Structure 1
Amino acid sequence: MMKKNYDDEQENTTACRVRNLRLDREWSQKELADRIFVAHSQISRLESGETTNIGSSLLVALAKEFHVSTDYLLGLTPISIPKSYDISQLGLSEEAVKRLITKKIDVSVLNRLLEHKDFPKLCALMKNYFDNTIANGIMARNQIIDLATEPLAELLSAEPSKRAEIMKDMSFLNSTKIQSNEADIEKIKNILMKIIREIKENVTAQQPTGAIATANAVKGIRAALPDEPQSELTIDDVSVAVAAYVGMMLPMDESTSELLQQLAKQILELPTEKKELAYLCGRNEG
């Protein structure tokens, strides 16, 4: 999605931000009005700029429906993510939410990973891998190859003089068969390493990340939680935090959230000899 220019005064108006949020979701004014139980005319007047003083009840209803902060709707901040969330909105248990925050991980690394254009594709591939979506198709393909080799095996008995040629053809067909998860794993590995290399290039070129939304979101969650000793936090906590953060911006079902947690954990647990990730974290591994 193209980033908006928040220096433009028009972009900072409530009318413009409500309209853009609605259009991003491809809703009509009537659909939005029905969702928040107000008259269509209220949304029309608001977006046209006719309504200059928006009521608190309408403002809160819009913020909840769009999952943004009221400050964002009022044009007071370019960051749309609310500073705090009710535990029930995260879809996580209270105990899981308590363990979300740590200071041991470089936030800029998480930002760059989440902002990379291929990150959604990586998540989709991993979801297919865990669901065996592609594996089922590969198994069917292998079965077709087996069907093709059966006549050759019969021909081998009927035409012994062509044994060498037939065996060569059978060997070639069998060599084209692949393991059910082999293709998935290779694609995941290739895209993951591509992401890491490109992030490394951006870090080397000192290219900044987008608006510092992660830090503000983390501060908001921390403020809503009871104090938790830092020594009790683990990599599992970090993976849950990443999934929760992404879930604030993009709707995710439980299985997708779990998939993202597994991906974050695998990345954080890469051994130190993985030089490229070490560079990302700003460490000199010698």
Structure 2
Amino acid sequence: MRERKLTQRELALRIDVNESTISRFLSGKTEKLSEESVIRIARVFNVSTDFILGTTVIPDKKNYDISELGLSVEAAKNLYTGKVNNDVVNRLLENPRFATVTYMIAQHLDDTLAGGYAAQNQMFATVGSLLLGQNQTPEAVQAARTANAMKVPTYQADQTTIQNTFMTVVKEIKKEAGSDLAAARAI
């Protein structure tokens, strides 16, 4: 509660109990909380119930509801049934650079980057037109060609960046796997 700067009253409201219940528990006047209260407290602090009960000093939850993880039912089923290699998925998710790859893919899917490249290409086309409109000297023609050559196909740049970053992640994971041939084969 101190870490999260949460008062007894705020916690009581969030888990739907009386403030006096929290007060008695924290002061040691009672050692009992309902099962539901313990679960709700764990959810408020995003820790395991074992951590709340003091049976472990590790706050990390071991079990998550599919909706808490943001997984679709099909994705969870693929993990649970072994259709995908869980070791590979774990290694990907644990790699800090992989989060960047997922962000880049999201931008690719919503056309954020494509819009930027389209605008950049339009700017190069305008520069080329302006150069040729002023005069037709060989230098102006060459400068216009150079500006035109700087255009990038709208989706090519972000796809290439995504591919390169993803392959860097795969190389890092392979390097981590090192001499573990089974893990390397899985990857």
TM-score tier, shorter chain, comes to 0.7 to 0.9
Equivalent of 1:63, from 38, 42, 67? 42
Pairwise CA RMSD: 3.5
Q: Structure 1 54/138 Cα, relative in aligned 2: closer, same or farther at 3 Å? A: farther
With normalisation by structure 2, the TM-score equals 0.74
Q: Matches of 2:54 and 2:119 in 1, distance apart?
A: 55
With normalisation by structure 1, the TM-score equals 0.52
State the shift of 1:64 in Å.
3.0
Give the structure 2 partner of residue 172 of structure 1: 146
Give the structure 2 partner of residue 281 of structure 1: 186
State the shift of 1:95 in Å.
7.3
Matched letter for residue 281 of structure 1: A
State the shift of 1:58 in Å.
2.5
Conserved 8 A contact 1:68-1:81: yes
Give the structure 1 partner of residue 127 of structure 2: 148
1:252-286 per-residue CA deviation (whole Å, 9 max, x = no partner) reads: xxxxxxxxxxxxxxxxxxxxxxxxxx93517xxxx
Q: Structure 1 31/198 Cα, relative in aligned 2: closer, same or farther at 3 Å? A: farther
Q: Which has the higher contact order (CA 8 A, sep 6+)?
A: 1
Equivalent of 2:175, from 186, 201, 214? 201
Matched letter for residue 186 of structure 2: C
Name structure 2 gaps, 5 residues minimum: none
Matched, 1:50 2:27: yes
How do 1:13-162 and structure 2 match up within 5 A?
23=4, 28-29=6-7, 31-38=10-17, 50-51=27-28, 53-56=31-34, 57-77=36-56, 78=58, 80-83=60-63, 85=65, 100-103=79-82, 105-156=84-135, 160=136, 162=137
Q: Matches of 2:169 and 2:107 in 1, distance apart?
A: 19
CA radius of gyration, larger in: 2
Equivalent of 2:162, from 188, 197, 204? 188
Q: How many residues align?
A: 181
Name structure 1 gaps, 5 residues minimum: 1-17, 207-277
1:47-77 per-residue CA deviation (whole Å, 9 max, x = no partner) reads: xx63473512421211233444312322334
Conserved 8 A contact 1:68-1:82: no
Q: Matches of 2:87 and 2:47 in 1, distance apart?
A: 22
Conserved 8 A contact 1:200-1:280: no
- Taking only the aligned residue pairs, the percentage that are identical comes to 34
